[in-house]
A and B are shown apart, each in its own frame.
Chain A
Amino acid sequence: MKLFWELTKRSFKRQLTYRAATLAGLLTNFFFGIIRAGILIALYGTRQDVAGLSLPDAITYAALTQAVIAYLSFFNWTLIMDTIYTGDISSDLLKPMNYFRFWLSQDLGRAIVNLFLRGVIVMVGYAFIFDLTFPNSGWQWLALGISVILSWVLNFSWRFLINLSAFWTPNAQGITRFFFIGMWFFSGFLTPLRYFPNWVVRVSNLTPFPSMINTVAEIYLNVLQGPELVQAVLVQLGWAIAIILAGQLVLRAGVRRLVILGG
């Protein structure tokens, strides 16, 4: 466990040094968020409530999607894939540490920096410009905290899993892109899932993606409360466990293949 936190600490410090990139990312998040808010304000017009969301709810939702992009590495992440192609993975596998935890610890450092420098700053910045919604009780904040952590665990496990496709194909970049595109749509990143017709919501709920963004956002907006909230968090947890296990199985199969090829 000491090794785990040491790796986290180093990745945390490394991430802190990308100051220019953080600033550029923040400006981009703000700009796209403001455009999105503009579209939402126009869509709402005089409507008070659409699918259970008020205008401040909708704008808060848009801000949240921008706030979690960097925290979840939501646009692209190919680090493991790259080590499979370069062969660096063979030395990583020899390290005296579980391979999944080796990457989990490093991603944690990266995620913590981005949660605060990109996520919290975006939310605070938006609060200056727009009328936003906030969690309405201590319990809601607590649930939000748990849900935010679970969304990262789940999302990381997912990125871990799809990167392993590089064991089998030279086109892993193209394949993971499809998975990312599916994730953008079904997670509620492009639009709150509530706005969609019911059949789209039902299809989304068959995937782990709503647990990455939509659930977190609905807890933040107090849309999910009480038993519904508990259930949503348990679904997040269930998906996280399932994807972690899938990742372990696929990794084992992949490593076997790596040995056959002779690394």
Chain B
Amino acid sequence: MQYRASFFMELLGTALITLLEYASLALIFFRFEDLKGWSLGEIAFIYGLAEISFGFMDLFFSGFDPGNFGLRVRKGEFDQLLLRPLNIPLQILGSAFVLRRLGKIVVGVFIFSFALRQTNLVWTTAKILYLPLVVLGQVCFFGGLFIIGATITFWTVESIEVVNIFTYGGNYMMSYPMHIYQNWLRRFFTYLIPVAFLNYYPALYYLDKPDPFNLPTFAPFLSPVAGVSVFLAALAFWQFGIKYYQSTGT
């Protein structure tokens, strides 16, 4: 917190880009009016939720961000962690707590509250109780992807940018309703990588929209299941990777 000016600038920068990206969508809605049956308010619901979740994930999991983590492996800093008698993933979680991501979360909450004002969302006890679990599912999912990306750098040493397609790309994709995408793309991100269950299906439940793909009625409640499964699989992959870890020697 010593570099206060730089901290506030980063905080503001993160908030600004999140806001402008959303604004550029909101502004063109004057011309387009709807997105395949979804209003701007309804999109704001999934858009805001995705920003909030990704912001929280980034707040906690930045240490695993494959870009940063690859650098530490390359410099040999990771070896230090191995020597300490503490759980290694926990050490990495504690190593980077990127407070500037709060900017993303704050704007996400703003977009989400816009959605609540624009849509006639009927709240029930179940809906209120389930909301934190939806966020948890998304946080676990993207946290898991970060861990998988970090683990791959054990072998490659270089950070592999292709992982960004799934993390940042997945986040971008699920900010919009899944039924707008081409079938092959949507199927890939429903059955192979469970992005659709994290945000889109919960949104159908909250906004009382019919499921265009007729999945079983429990589909909206799979968000925490999908998120936690990916997270556990990522931890298992991490354990496997660490067994084969060889230092770069630097």
A 182-193 to B, binary, CB cutoff 8 A, 1 in contact else 0: 001100001100
A 167-186 to B, binary, CB cutoff 8 A, 1 in contact else 0: 00011011101100100110
B6 touching A171, Cβ below 8 Å: yes
Does any Cβ of A come within 8 Å of B81's Cβ? no
A39 to B172, CA, bound (A): 11
A38 touching B180, Cβ below 8 Å: yes
Distance between B185 CB and nearest chain A CB, rounded to angstroms: 7
A45 to B180, CA, bound (A): 10
Given A21-B161, A24-B162, A35-B173, A41-B180 contact (CB < 8 Å): yes
Does any Cβ of A come within 8 Å of B125's Cβ? no
B169 touching A32, Cβ below 8 Å: yes
Distance between B55 CB and nearest chain A CB, rounded to angstroms: 17
B36 touching A42, Cβ below 8 Å: yes
Does any Cβ of B come within 8 Å of A196's Cβ? yes
A 23-43 to B, binary, CB cutoff 8 A, 1 in contact else 0: 011011001101100110111
A197 to B185, CA, bound (A): 32
Distance between A85 CB and nearest chain B CB, rounded to angstroms: 13
Given A171-B6, A174-B10, A181-B17, A35-B169 contact (CB < 8 Å): yes
Does any Cβ of B come within 8 Å of A195's Cβ? yes
B182 partner residues in chain A, CB cutoff 8 A: 34, 38
Given A28-B164, A174-B9, A181-B13, A34-B185 contact (CB < 8 Å): yes
Does any Cβ of A come within 8 Å of B35's Cβ? yes
B 14-28 to A, binary, CB cutoff 8 A, 1 in contact else 0: 001100110111011
B123 partner residues in chain A, CB cutoff 8 A: none
Does any Cβ of A come within 8 Å of B165's Cβ? yes
Give the A-B contact count at a CB cut-off of 8 A: 91
A177 partner residues in chain B, CB cutoff 8 A: 9-10, 13
Does any Cβ of A come within 8 Å of B30's Cβ? yes
Does any Cβ of B come within 8 Å of A50's Cβ? yes
B16 partner residues in chain A, CB cutoff 8 A: 178, 181
B27 touching A196, Cβ below 8 Å: yes
Give residues of chain A (53-104) contacting chain B, Cβ–Cβ below 8 Å.
Answer: none
Given A38-B181, A177-B13, A184-B20, A27-B35 contact (CB < 8 Å): no
**Which of B3, B6, B27, B35 touches A39 (beta carbons < 8 Å)?**
B35
A191 partner residues in chain B, CB cutoff 8 A: 24-25, 27-28
A261 partner residues in chain B, CB cutoff 8 A: none
Give residues of chain A (189-228) contacting chain B, Cβ–Cβ below 8 Å.
Answer: 190-191, 195-197, 200
A259 partner residues in chain B, CB cutoff 8 A: none
Does any Cβ of B come within 8 Å of A260's Cβ? no
Distance between B203 CB and nearest chain A CB, rounded to angstroms: 16
Does any Cβ of A come within 8 Å of B79's Cβ? no
A173 touching B21, Cβ below 8 Å: no
**Which of B6, B17, B164, B172 touches A174 (beta carbons < 8 Å)?**
B6
B6 touching A32, Cβ below 8 Å: no
A184 partner residues in chain B, CB cutoff 8 A: 17, 20
Does any Cβ of A come within 8 Å of B233's Cβ? no
A20 touching B169, Cβ below 8 Å: no
A42 touching B35, Cβ below 8 Å: yes
Does any Cβ of B come within 8 Å of A51's Cβ? yes
Give residues of chain B (177-212) contacting chain A, Cβ–Cβ below 8 Å.
Answer: 180-182, 185
When A and B form their complex, which 8 residue pairs have the shortest distance between CB atoms, in order from nearest? A174-B9, A42-B180, A24-B161, A190-B24, A195-B28, A42-B36, A191-B24, A38-B181
A-B contact pairs, 22 of them (CB 8 A): A35-B169, A35-B176, A38-B180, A38-B182, A41-B180, A42-B36, A43-B32, A45-B36, A50-B31, A171-B6, A171-B9, A173-B6, A178-B16, A181-B20, A184-B17, A185-B20, A185-B24, A191-B27, A196-B24, A196-B27, A196-B28, A197-B27
List residues of chain A with CB under 8 Å of any chain B CB.
Answer: 20-21, 24-25, 27-28, 31-32, 34-35, 38-39, 41-45, 47, 50-51, 170-171, 173-175, 177-178, 181, 184-185, 190-191, 195-197, 200
**Beyond A39-B180, A173-B6, A190-B24: 15 further Cβ-contacts under 8 Å?**
A25-B161, A28-B165, A32-B169, A39-B35, A42-B176, A44-B32, A50-B31, A170-B6, A171-B3, A175-B9, A177-B10, A181-B20, A190-B20, A191-B27, A195-B27
